Amino acid sequence: MPFLIRLKALLSAFISFLNDLPRKHFFALIILFVCLLIISFLPSQSVQPQHIKRQLVLPIQSVAQDKYSKAEPIEALEPPREVYGNADIDFTGTREIQWIIKEGDSLSILFQTEGLSAAVLHELQEADKSHLRLGNLVPGQEIKLLIGADNSLLALKIKIDFANTLSFVLKEGAYVSLLETEEGVWRNSYFKGDITGSFYINAKEAGLSAGQIQQISGALQEKFDFNRQLRVGDTFHVLVSKQYIDGQYTYDSEVLAILIKTSRQTYSAFLSEDGRYYDENGKGLGKAYRRSPLDGRNRISSSFNPKRLHPITKRISPHNGTDFAVGTGTKVYSIGDGIVQRAGYHPAAGNYIVIKHGRKYTTRYLHLSKIYVRAGQRLKMGHLIGHSGNTGRSTGAHLHYEFHIYNKPVNAMKVSLPLSQEIPKKDKKAFNERRDGFLKEMGEI
């Protein structure tokens, strides 16, 4: 092992060299070694970066000598502002508040939190009487407030659901409302199934919702008994129209056509433009509409008037309905088949009910003393829904009744209603074409 021998010889020579050093030189060498060791552990001095600033001056406007280019100053970009209805609002000095409604929230709580007065809330509720949306807020709804520098409410916007947004904007000392409805796209879906037991269970298995099944049963309930007449092996075929907004299903739907095929015969129902169901020959499957929600002849104390002077606020305020001068407790009936869209209490309208009669017609009943129906309940024409009263902001006991066509109020006492039990002759051709279109989509013709 020559390497180890040479290494041992070198170490012996180095030790001999140290022993031969004078004592002063030996200690000097030790001190030098220690100093070098200490210096090696000291942190190095950091170099501070030098910031070089140069000012770049751009010309306010520079035009090239040729026809191809032109440089102009770029203005500062401001973030986009929230749009409140179709109003042109000065946002100077304003602040915007956004709330997501939770269980137990109300406009009263929101106004107290933001220091807004009860008088302003009162005015908003009066403006909302045309829509009846601020009385019963739903968890998940989004509300935006625009508040001025003097803490006055300039605008309020609420996202009601997928399709509807309601705005209130202060104009000339009064709040003006605007309901914006996104129509979206309606797409038809076809469902079919075999009866193996319960119609409800088989329909659910086919993909129909509980509300759609209820609509099917309601359409045929006077012609067909689903509990007694259905047998194993019978089939059902249903065409449903569903609303989509930005590709998302809004859960708003209509049953357009129904075929129940039994061993004996086929039962059919087709939805007409008037919101009622008819069989393949145009015969009505339910009772026709009635003109008035009250029995007998009753005096009208205030007629439909879009330019009426409000009896309480003394401002021009459209009277979108018909007021019947009846005492508290008078029975109020549904004027046609339909489904209860909303029922509850509103500070201005009092106890109220909104009934949807297909996609076209909607009726509203205000200032009731009693309500006997609930949201989502399906009704037949003549169903007792409540009693008249004097609830909300009212000058006396009466029934306020409204009739809307495609969400626009019309004169309920003059509107043309389908009052007969079958399709009128003048509408028969259009009905047949609509019926055949449904059957073609279902693969029946």
Are 307 and 406 within one domain? yes
pLDDT digits (tens, 9 = 90+) for 132-159: 999 888 999 999 999 999 999 999 999 9
Residue 281, domain member (yes or no): yes
Q: Examine the pLDDT at 442 and tell me if it is beyond 50.
A: yes
In the chain, how many H helices and how many E strands? 7, 22
The domain in which residue 161 lies consists of 95-181
Q: Is residue 76 part of a domain?
A: no
pTM: 0.71
In this predicted structure, the answer to whether residue 3 has a pLDDT above a threshold of 70 is no
Q: Which CATH number belongs to the domain containing residue 342 in this structure?
A: 2.70.70.10
Is the residue at 46 inside a domain? no
pLDDT at 183: 86
Closest CA to 195 of 237, 255, 224: 237
The pair of three-digit structure tokens given for residue 436, joined into one six-digit string:
């055949």
Give which of 152, 163, 50, 140 is closest to 94, Cα–Cα: 152
Share of the chain above pLDDT 70, in %: 81
Q: Which residue has the higher pLDDT, 370 or 183?
A: 370
Structure tokens at 104: 């137990």
pLDDT at residue 307, rounded to an integer: 83
User: So what's the pLDDT on residue 75?
Assistant: 47
Q: Is 319 strand, coil or helix?
A: strand
Domain contains 375: yes
Looking at the domain assignment, is residue 14 inside a domain? no
Q: DSSP assignment of 279-304, as one string? A: -TTSBBSSPPP-S-SSSS---EEE--
My answer on whether 315 and 406 are in the same domain is yes
Tokens describing residue 96: 């915007």
Query: Which phi and psi angles does 222 have, rounded to 5°?
Result: -90, -5
pLDDT (0 to 100) of residue 311: 64
Closest CA to 227 of 192, 264, 197, 262: 197
314 vs 433, higher pLDDT: 433
Mean pLDDT of 2-27: 68
Q: Do 317 and 287 contact (CB within 8 A), yes or no? A: no
Residue 311 resides in a domain: yes
pLDDT of 43 > 90? The answer is no
Last residue of a domain, one of 124, 147, 181: 181
The mean pLDDT of the chain is: 86
- pLDDT for 87 equals 62
Mean pLDDT (whole number) for 26-31: 72
Same domain, 328 and 342: yes
Q: Binning pLDDT at 50, 70 and 90, where does residue 309 land?
A: confident
Reported as a pLDDT band with limits 50, 70 and 90, residue 92 is: confident
Q: Could you tell me if 159 and 208 lie in one domain?
A: no
Start-to-end C-alpha separation, the chain? 106
Distance CA 222, CA 104 (A): 42
Residue scoring higher pLDDT (399 or 67): 399
Structurally, how many domains does the chain consist of? Answer: 3
Helix (H) or strand (E) holding 345: strand 338-346
Dihedral of the alpha carbons of 52, 55, 58, 60, in degrees to the nearest 10: 160
Is 254 found in the same domain as 237? Answer: yes
Q: Round to whole Å and give the CA distance between 163 and 161.
A: 6
Average pLDDT value for residue range 122-132: 92
| 120 pLDDT more than 60 | yes
User: 93: pLDDT confidence band, cut at 50, 70 and 90?
Assistant: confident
Q: Are residues 282 and 428 in the same domain?
A: yes
Q: How far apart are CA 317 and CA 402, in angstroms?
A: 15
Verify that 266 and 323 share a domain, yes or no. Answer: no
In the block, which residue shows the tokens 């209805």? 85
In a domain, 77, yes or no: no
| Domain identity same for 273 and 311 | no
> Is pLDDT of 58 > 70?
no
Cα separation, 352 vs 324, whole angstroms: 15
9 is a domain residue: no
